[in-house]
Amino acid sequence: MIFRFDRFTTLYVVNPIRRRIPSSDPRVPILMYHSISEADESGVHPYYRTATAPTMFAMHMRYLYEQGYSTINLPEAIRLLQSGTPTNKHVVITFDDGYRDFHQHGFPELSKYGFAATVFLPTDYIGTAPVRFKDKDCLTWAEVRELRKYNICFGSHTATHPQLSALDDQAVAREVGTSKKVIEDNIGESVDSFSYPYAFPEEKIAFTKMLRNTLVASGYDQGVSTRIGAARSEEDRYFLRRLPINSLDDVALFGAKLRGAYDWLHTIQHVSKRLKG
């Protein structure tokens, strides 16, 4: 078994402190899922895995229900944070990449408890028939429209899923603008949420400023990133933090993440990016 410094620190150092001294700051955990499948990730370090087994996902949803959590969407989360309203029993559930296994395994569990979710679509991989992305089928537009009838929201995950910081300004504008229009044309309503693909380059100040301006100009109202932690009121609404979830998040670690005991890792994440940069 691989020793996980992040898990040990979260469960045996930070979590006990959080239980004794709970934070009073408004915060909303935004869960970041990708594939709900039995994908073999044995060769991937636990920190970087993105698949969640259907049985584990079912356990997560049951835990949320039994602990009295209610799901809200991103605009509602931002309103709660800005109002200073206590948010300890609200959660946002998101899925990146638009995989078809969300329809097969994710949605049935969500609907069992009446939970809402947002799925971010890389639109070049969403078609009239299933298109493969990273060796997995993605949703079709017919499935997207079907899911929209059942309280599932959709946002943009760019068109081609590139590392945006490697593109010029015009290419970034095309990625975020084209994907928004394609989704709107296919579901018949406005799209106001954006999810940044890959590691978010928060250390690149000029780039993040340009990206924010581009998102605003394109008509987005909010967005999420891969920065680790719960969303807070002082954060930029276009680059909200999220909590990465995968098959190795048993109930103990899952619950600790919801309580804010995983948020400490953002400091390590940020310093690592600056050193690599």
Total domains, the chain: 1
Q: Residue 127: its pLDDT value, please?
A: 97
Q: Residue 1: its pLDDT value, please?
A: 57
What CATH number does residue 83 fall under?
Answer: 3.20.20.370
In a domain, 17, yes or no: no
In a domain, 95, yes or no: yes
In a domain, 19, yes or no: no
- Answer whether 89's CB lies under 8 Å from 70's CB: yes
Distances (CA, A) of 170 to 10, 158, 176, 178: 41, 14, 10, 12
In a domain, 160, yes or no: yes
Cα–Cα–Cα angle for 270, 34, 166, nearest 5°? 50
Q: Residue 26: its pLDDT value, please?
A: 86
In a domain, 5, yes or no: no
Per-residue tokens: 102 = 């969300």
Q: Would you give per-residue pLDDT tens digits along the chain (277 residues)?
A: 567 889 999 999 999 998 887 776 789 999 999 999 999 998 898 888 999 999 999 999 999 999 999 999 999 999 999 998 767 799 999 999 999 999 999 999 999 999 999 999 999 999 999 999 999 999 999 999 999 999 899 999 999 999 999 999 999 999 999 999 999 999 999 999 999 999 899 989 999 999 999 999 999 999 999 999 999 999 999 999 999 999 999 999 999 999 999 999 888 777 776 666 6
In a domain, 98, yes or no: yes
In a domain, 75, yes or no: yes
DSSP letter string, 143-155? HHHHHHTTTEEEE
Q: Residue 277: its pLDDT value, please?
A: 61
Q: Residue 154: its pLDDT value, please?
A: 98
Q: CA 42 to CA 246: how far, in whole Å?
A: 12
Domain assignment of residue 80, given as a range = 25-263
In a domain, 141, yes or no: yes
